[in-house]
């Protein structure tokens, strides 16, 4: 049994953290497998959306302290360690990623979910960026994702205290896109993913996602974003998918998208403030 199970159907890849006997406690193998799965899905035109969830009742309760090696013990030469072990991160992909946080997500369990585009979270589960309570600090670029998602005040509260909160508070803070009963989390996440897979033009989703995350990362100003939006509109206007989107809407049917992200992708231009 691998630490990550992968299934694909109807344009959606379901990636399942697969150590239910350890409540999906994180291992380096799990991180490596997740990064490889992200890359494969992002290069596959048949995959229009990705859902990340956990097997059993937990999403991921953090690093596996029962492993043979202490995850917080420094190597003698310091080689091989990274605080961002999932490469690429979910926000670095072109494909939309929905985290179906079906149960407790602690430490890296939560910080990896923060890298997703959309988070459906269990109302009654426990969440925490608890690393400061273990003598280390938040990982998976959480010092960037959290303030960008919820602002500096909330990020400071969670990163500096490591306190625990539930799904209802996660939704109030803006960490959860929505909080629902644990039994409904995966179904709702899959419904979002299938809607994207059918109704959203893949190139449009890829460009919009990259524009969203890249402009946050690069600190672009509003007029920089206006120029990028204009250039990207010009890239897709008049394409078969732009025509198909309008035709399908007028004919009240599901669209038939034909543009290939893997073959026709061109990265976003780098527009700087004047």
* DSSP conformational letter for 137: -
Residues 26 and 74 sit within 8 Å (Cβ to Cβ)? no
What number is the average pLDDT over the span 45-56? 98
Question: Residue 273 — pLDDT band, cuts 50, 70, 90?
Answer: very low
- The ranges assigned to domains in the chain are 4-196, 201-273
Say what the pLDDT of residue 186 is: 98
Write down the mean pLDDT value for the chain. 93
pLDDT value for 219: 87
Q: Quick one: tokens of 77?
A: 């030469």
Residue 274 has pLDDT above 70, yes or no: no
Return the biggest CA–CA distance within the chain: 65
Tens digit of pLDDT for each residue in 71-81? 555 555 556 78
State residue 269's pLDDT score.
Answer: 75
CA distance 142 to 133: 15
Residues 241-253, mean pLDDT to the nearest whole number = 97
Cβ neighbors of 12 (< 8 A, separation 6 or more) are 47, 48, 49, 50, 51, 190, 193, 194, 197
Sheet containing 105-106: which strands, arranged edge to edge? 105-106, 126-128, 165-166
CATH, range 201-273? 1.10.12.10
Share of the chain above pLDDT 70, in %: 93
SS3 138: coil
Say yes or no to pLDDT of 271 above 90. Answer: no
pTM: 0.94
CATH of the structural domain 4-196, one choice from 3.40.630.30, 3.40.30.10, 3.40.50.880, 3.90.226.10: 3.90.226.10
Mean pLDDT of 100-107: 98
From the list 135, 141, 1, 122, the residue with the least C-alpha distance to 60 is 122
Q: For residue range 7-29, list pLDDT tens digits in order.
A: 999 999 999 999 999 999 999 99
Residue-wise pLDDT tens digits, 205-238: 999 999 999 999 888 899 999 999 999 999 999 9
165 pLDDT above the threshold of 50 = yes
- The pLDDT of 52-65, averaged and rounded, is 96
* Token duo for residue 58: 């937990």
CA distance 232 to 214: 14
CA dihedral for 130, 133, 138, 139, sign (positive or negative): negative
Length of the chain: 274
Judging by beta carbons within 10 Å of its beta carbon (0-12, 13-18, 19+), is residue 198 exposed, middle or buried?
Answer: middle
Contacts of 243 (CB under 8 A, 6+ apart): none
Give me the DSSP letters along 40-64: HHHT-TT--EEEEEESTT-SB-SB-
């Amino acid at each position: 049994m691998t630490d990550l199970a992968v299934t694909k159907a109807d344009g959606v890849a379901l990636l399942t953290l697969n150590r239910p006997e350890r409540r999906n406690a994180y291992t380096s193998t799990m991180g490596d497998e997740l990064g490889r799965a992200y890359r494969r899905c992002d290069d596959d035109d048949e995959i229009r959306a990705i859902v990340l969830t956990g097997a059993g009742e937990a999403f991921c309760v953090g690093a596996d302290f029962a492993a043979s090696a202490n995850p917080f013990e420094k190597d003698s030469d310091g080689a091989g360690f990274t605080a961002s072990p999932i490469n690429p991160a979910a926000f670095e992909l072109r494909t939309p990623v929905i985290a179906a946080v079906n149960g407790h997500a602690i430490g890296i369990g939560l910080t990896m979910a923060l890298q997703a585009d959309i988070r459906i979270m269990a109302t009654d589960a426990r969440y925490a960026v608890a690393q400061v309570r273990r003598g280390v600090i938040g990982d998976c670029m959480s010092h960037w994702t959290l303030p960008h998602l919820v602002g500096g005040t909330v990020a400071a509260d969670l990163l500096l205290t490591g306190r625990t909160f539930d799904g209802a508070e996660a939704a109030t803070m803006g960490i959860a896109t929505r909080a629902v009963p644990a039994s409904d989390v995966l179904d709702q996440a899959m419904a979002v993913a299938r809607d994207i897979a059918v109704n959203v033009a893949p190139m449009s989703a890829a460009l919009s996602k990259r524009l969203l995350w890249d402009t946050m990362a690069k600190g672009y100003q509003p007029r920089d974003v206006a120029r990028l939006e204009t250039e990207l509109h010009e890239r897709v206007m008049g394409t078969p998918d732009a025509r198909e989107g309008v035709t399908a809407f007028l004919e009240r049917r599901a669209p038939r998208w034909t543009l290939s992200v893997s073959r026709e992708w061109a990265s976003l231009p780098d527009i700087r403030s004047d």
